[in-house]
Amino acid sequence: QVQLVESGGGVVQPGRSLRLSCAASGFTFSRHGMHWVRQAPGKGLEWVAVIWYDGSKKYYADSMKGRLTISRDNSKNTLYLQMNSLRAEDTAVYYCVRDSIEVTGTLDYWGQGTLVTVSS
């Protein structure tokens, strides 16, 4: 079955960096675009970034543009999110999400999320 397992979250001081990982299994990772979506405490879902199935295109939310790098290693079935210059408002659960092939434009599998807390 499809599994997406995020890791790398934790408590980090403002201004520091963090790299999140998402280990994918149960499907052909290299065929799917992948997203990061986050949810701050008490807030709604916020789309963060997407990477094409082959890594050829990457797009970011304006709110974090310039501080993020999404990447993937298809040989390791792993998605990454490098976050720099972290701010208190980046505190959220970060979800790894698969782009559907069957229904274009939709998100069909979500990980359980990893909590990032930015605090001094």
Partner 1 sequence: SYELTQPPSVSVSPGQTARITCSGDALPKKYAYWYQRKSGQAPVLVIYEDNKRPSGIPERFSGSSSGTMATLTISGAQVEDEADYYCYSTDSSGDQRVFGGGTKLTVL
Backbone phi and psi for residue 31, each to the nearest 5 degrees, phi listed first: -100, -10
Residue 51 interacts with partner 1 (CB under 8 A): yes or no: no
DSSP state for residue 100 in the 8-state scheme? P
Residue 37 interacts with partner 1 (CB under 8 A): yes or no: yes
Residue 13 interacts with partner 1 (CB under 8 A): yes or no: no
Out of 27, 47, 52, 53, the residue judged to bind partner 1 by CB under 8 A = 47
Query: Of 12 and 107, which has the nearer Cβ to partner 1?
Result: 107
Residue 40 interacts with partner 1 (CB under 8 A): yes or no: no
Residue 42 interacts with partner 1 (CB under 8 A): yes or no: no
**How far, CA to CA in Å, does 87 sit from each of 27, 32, 47, 91, 119?**
34, 30, 17, 8, 8
Report the largest interatomic distance among the alpha carbons of the chain, rounded to a whole angstrom: 44
User: Smallest distance, Å, CB 106 to partner 1?
Assistant: 5
Query: Of 103 and 120, which has the nearer Cβ to partner 1?
Result: 103
Cβ within 8 Å of residue 114, ≥6 positions away? 6, 7, 8, 9, 20, 93, 94
Residue 14 interacts with partner 1 (CB under 8 A): yes or no: no
Kindly calculate the radius of gyration of the chain based on its CA atoms and give it in whole angstroms: 14
Residues that bind partner 1 (CB under 8 A): 35, 37, 44-47, 50, 59-63, 103, 105-110
